Amino acid sequence: MELTRGLKHANRYRKIAATLARHGFGYILQEVGLFHILSLPKRLASDPNEFNMHSIGERIRLVLEELGPTFIKLGQLISTRKDIFPPSVIEELEKLQDKVPPFAFEDAKQIIENDLGHPLTEIYDSFDETPIAAASIGQVHRAVLYDGEEVAVKVSRPHIKEVIEKDIDILRDMAKLFTQRFQWARYYRLQDIAEEYIDAIRDEVDYYVEARNTEKMRANMADFPDLEIPAVFEEFSSRRVLTMTFLEGTKLSELTYSNKKFNKKALARSLTDAFLHQILIDGFFHSDPHPGNIIFTDYEKASFIDFGQIGRLNKEMRKHFINYVIAMTRKKPDQVAAAIYEMADIPDTIDHDQFAEDVHYLLSKYYDRPFHEIRFGEAINDIFATSHRYEIQIYKEYTMLAKAFITFEGIVERLDPDISIVEIAEPYGKKLAKEQFNPKNNVKDWIKEGQRQKEYLFDIPREVRDALAKLNNSHIGIEMKVPKINIFLNKLDRISNRLSFSIILLAFSIIMVGMIIGSTFGDSSSPLVTLPVIEISSIVSFLMFLWLLYAIFKSGRF
């Protein structure tokens, strides 16, 4: 484990380790050696059987809640990965709430004035000191510009970036350590989950990223009059401050009790149409469309808000996804499996026939159901979960898409239980399929691929020449990788230290015995008797003994 960064965060490490141990995960820390590294008392290495009154999912949730905002957001991300984690864990993590008290208005004011370079009263005509919403990253205040425009002002929490970066360092180290040590961590791809989370949380904490995402989404959705996207005021925004149009709306949970009348079926249709356009046409979609990020502003109008998390699919990815959807709707398991191979890293040991057979079995439950009864997100996720059992690593862009689909489906079905996303997606699929088979588009792709292959062909002679030169000069090296070598060396270090300790202790005992015998039975005229040899030798030996003990315990490998 690399502790070059970790030593800077020793107190935070101890807090995390103690929290894990308190909820029954101390044995994991002991197994990977963190008890020695952090000098934690062994009593914290609890027996997991002591915590049988709580499920493992519940204990994970309690740990994340206790560790604060960064880890709560990690849990929220994991709760969307139904393709990887067991339902019992997902069910508990879905209960995680990002509920934190607001921070002081004076802190918000100082951040705004420092970042925008003007007193608050010169920027906004009025500014509500009480926030209308608060979360772990920041909070939102209502304000009015001097031109009369009503705006929402998001302000980042003080020092939140430093706190998150510290936790990111620790998460990376622990994910790497657990992956080296535990098979379950490799199975659940813990390092990949950590990196996915790190990318997402860094984007969320940087309001410049959200501002760019919001403006691009606003431009992409310009042809959807029933969908409102807030405008960003760049001159009143920074990395820690985001000023945008204030949209007055009703949340999904309040829709039933609102005095306003809403056409729920029309809202569900317009939202679905816009969402599919984002995915299939633009390749730029809202990847966190939970109920808190969608509001309803009018009879048939809705709005996406909070674009801190965005999914992206390039043209090639959209093509592979469309092939996957077409294969599913045509009930062709072999084509579904082939499409999956284009959307993932495939292990060399995979049994292709068995995988195709499992896909066929999984799809059979959808074969006899009409389109309007099929849950699109569920069908995608089922295939991804099956892929995971074969150690097929679906690219994170697609897993993010599956998560967004499942979340979005739940929202539109609350608006219109009879809606069919598959039926609304069918015209998009047909349009994109025609584009794929359009000779003009195929010629363009062939020309582009030909140019790419031409560059490779021109590079081959140079690469062959370089390889032969290195071989001739004996510069060809062999790289060897030994799994878990760090753990092996760590244990070897402990054994050698314990052996050294035993040898010194034995030597110290022999010296003491020799001195006692010499002073008792030796000649009275001998310098050994007349000089305080015993005292001198004892002091020297004892000091050496203390020095060795200090060196061993300081290394943490005893």
For the chain, give the longest Cα–Cα distance: 114
Neighbouring C-alpha atoms within 13 Å toward the C-beta of 83: 31
Q: What is the number of residues in the chain?
A: 558
Tokens at residue 554, please?
A: 């300081």
Give this prediction's pTM.
0.70
Element (H, E) at 296: strand 294-298
- List, in sequence order, every residue forming a beta bridge with 183; answer none if it has no partner: none
> Are the C-beta atoms of residues 268 and 261 closer than 8 Å to each other?
no
Q: Which residue has the tokens 């697609």?
A: 398
**Residue 249: DSSP 8-state:** -
User: What's residue 406's pLDDT?
Assistant: 84
Q: Do residues 12 and 6 make contact, with C-beta atoms less than 8 angstroms apart?
A: no
Is residue 194 within 8 Å of 19, Cβ to Cβ? no
pLDDT value, residue 520: 60
Q: Count CB atoms within 10 A of the CB of residue 471.
A: 10
Q: Could you list the pLDDT tens digit for every one of the 558 residues in the chain?
A: 444 444 567 778 778 888 888 888 777 777 766 655 555 555 555 555 555 557 888 888 888 888 877 888 888 777 777 767 777 888 888 777 666 789 999 999 999 999 999 999 999 999 999 999 888 889 999 999 999 999 999 999 999 988 888 888 888 888 888 888 888 888 777 888 888 888 888 888 899 999 999 999 999 999 999 999 999 999 999 999 999 999 988 988 888 777 778 899 999 999 999 999 999 899 999 988 888 889 998 888 999 988 988 999 998 898 888 888 878 777 788 888 899 999 998 888 888 889 888 888 887 776 666 655 667 777 787 888 888 888 888 888 888 888 888 889 888 988 988 887 877 877 877 777 777 666 665 565 556 656 666 565 666 677 677 777 766 666 555 555 554 455 555 566 666 666 666 676 666 667 666 666 666 655 555 555 555 655 666 676 677 667 666 665 555 545
pLDDT of residue 111: 96
Q: What are phi and psi of 242, to 5 degrees?
A: -135, 115
Q: Which amino acid, one-letter code, is at 380?
A: I
Q: Are 350 and 372 in contact (CB under 8 A)?
A: no
Pairing relation of β-strands 241-245 and 393-394? Answer: unpaired
DSSP E strands, 148-283: 150-156, 227-228, 241-245, 250-251
Give pLDDT, residue 465: 72
The one-character DSSP state at 308 is S
What are residue 168's DSSP bridge partners? none
Look up tokens 């015998």; give the residue.
517
Tell me which residue has tokens 């209960």.
95
Instruction: Give backbone dihedrals phi and psi of 322, rounded to 5 degrees, phi first.
Output: -60, -40
User: What pLDDT, on the 0 to 100 scale, is given for residue 6?
Assistant: 46
One-letter amino acid of 180: Q
Strand partners, 301: 298
Residues 6+ apart with CB under 8 A from 497: 552, 555, 557, 558
Cβ count within 10 A of residue 524: 6
Q: How far apart are CA 62 and CA 428, in angstroms?
A: 43
What pLDDT score was predicted for residue 529? 54
Q: Which helix (H) or strand (E) holds 497?
A: helix 485-521
Q: To which H or E segment does residue 304 belong?
A: strand 301-304
- Torsion sign (Cα): 320, 218, 153, 409: negative
